[in-house]
């Protein structure tokens, strides 16, 4: 199946892929109160079975993790985060656990992502069976990309191979998934999101923060920036550049972003760096190279920008800065 066909399935049909998520269980009589004081979302307002994206912050307001919290019952929650970051979440939460009656456990679970406008209908039978077996089924929606995530023990959640999926659900590869993630403007841990990230820079505040709940660790910086109109020095943007999928990539992680006309000789020295590409992929939807990156607020978006390789070799080439999501540029 081609990249374009997989992308089509993930958007408008029914696509599936292995979901790299680490899952942490938080249980105990103080679990709700503890998470209410650690996460940016209103955990206490979650009904059983409900989920919400949330920030886990350091005391200085910098990001520890972007995660999702799901209430399992009155005293139990599961937190899921991008794969490879579960241990860091457990370590950060244990640092402030103190005398709270709550237990943390990194679960040996795995995930399967189902995406596409038709996936609910095509996979209805599968979802009913898995729900009966205790699989956590979490709705997914981000900038118009919809579907659901299945989380559970490895012997219960099916794999992403074509032979394991129900008829009508297409197994999709990493390239198609990454292109959809980027065009949807979804930041990922380790690329767009690090321990130096401020939530407002990544456009996460509206999605992940409750301003009506009580205090939580790291709240002061979030509230102060919001009160000042979220006027941060840099922001996460989308980038689009022409070029074919088989040739040299027009956008790649680590490339630097520059404004205005190229300096004499178009050399890197003296060409002020105003941003950096964090993720890039070829997108059949946009028919161009697409990327996410951080760009200084002095550069207008949408608008032109120059890109050069991170090693400073060669001249710059033109791309376009777009607001997210990038589907709107098609």
Beta bridge partners of 23: 80, 107
Instruction: Clarify whether residues 93 and 162 are in a common domain.
Output: yes
- Residue ending a domain, among 161, 183, 205, is 183
Considering the domain boundaries, does residue 150 fall inside one?
yes
Cα(13)–Cα(180) distance, integer angstroms:
13
Residue segments in the chain with a per-residue pLDDT below the cut of 70: 327-330
Alpha helices in 13-81 (DSSP H): 31-36
Instruction: Clarify whether residues 262 and 177 are in a common domain.
Output: no
Cβ neighbors of 56 (< 8 A, separation 6 or more) are: 38, 39, 40, 63, 64, 65, 66, 67, 89, 92, 93
Considering the domain boundaries, does residue 197 fall inside one?
no
Number of domains in the chain: 2
Range of the domain at 62: 3-183
Instruction: Clarify whether residues 150 and 288 are in a common domain.
Output: no
**pLDDT tens digit string along 278-309?**
999 999 999 999 999 999 999 999 999 999 99
CATH of the domain at 87: 3.30.1360.120
**pLDDT tens digit string along 122-151?**
999 989 999 999 999 999 999 999 999 999
């Amino acid at each position: 199946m081609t990249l374009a066909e997989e992308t089509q399935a993930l958007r408008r049909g029914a696509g599936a892929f292995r979901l790299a998520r680490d899952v942490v269980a938080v249980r105990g009589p103080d679990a709700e109160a503890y998470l209410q004081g650690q996460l940016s979302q209103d955990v206490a307002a979650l009904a059983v079975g409900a989920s919400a994206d949330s920030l886990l912050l350091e005391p200085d307001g910098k990001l520890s993790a972007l995660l999702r919290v799901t209430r399992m019952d009155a005293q139990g929650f599961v937190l899921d985060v991008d794969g490879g970051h579960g241990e860091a979440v457990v370590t950060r939460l244990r640092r402030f656990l103190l005398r709270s009656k709550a237990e943390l456990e990194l679960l040996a679970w795995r995930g399967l992502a189902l995406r596409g406008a038709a996936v609910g209908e095509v996979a209805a039978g599968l979802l009913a069976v898995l729900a009966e077996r205790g699989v956590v089924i979490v709705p997914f929606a981000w900038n118009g990309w919809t579907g659901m995530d299945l989380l559970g023990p490895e012997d219960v959640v099916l794999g992403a191979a074509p032979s394991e999926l129900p008829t009508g659900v297409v197994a999709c590869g990493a390239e198609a998934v990454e292109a959809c993630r980027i065009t949807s403007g979804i930041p990922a841990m380790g690329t767009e999101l690090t321990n130096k990230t401020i939530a407002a820079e990544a456009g996460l505040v509206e999605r992940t923060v409750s301003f009506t709940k009580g205090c939580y660790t790291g709240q002061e910086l979030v509230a102060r920036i919001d009160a000042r109109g979220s006027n941060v020095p840099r922001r996460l943007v989308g980038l689009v550049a022409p070029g074919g999928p088989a040739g040299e990539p027009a956008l790649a992680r680590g490339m630097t972003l520059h404004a205005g006309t190229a300096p004499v000789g178009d050399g890197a020295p003296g060409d002020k760096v105003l941003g950096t590409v964090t993720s890039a992929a070829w997108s059949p939807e946009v028919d161009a190279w697409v990327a996410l990156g951080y760009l200084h607020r002095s550069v207008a978006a949408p608008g032109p920008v120059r890109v050069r390789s991170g090693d400073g070799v060669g001249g710059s080439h033109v791309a376009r800065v777009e607001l997210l999501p990038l589907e709107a540029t098609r």
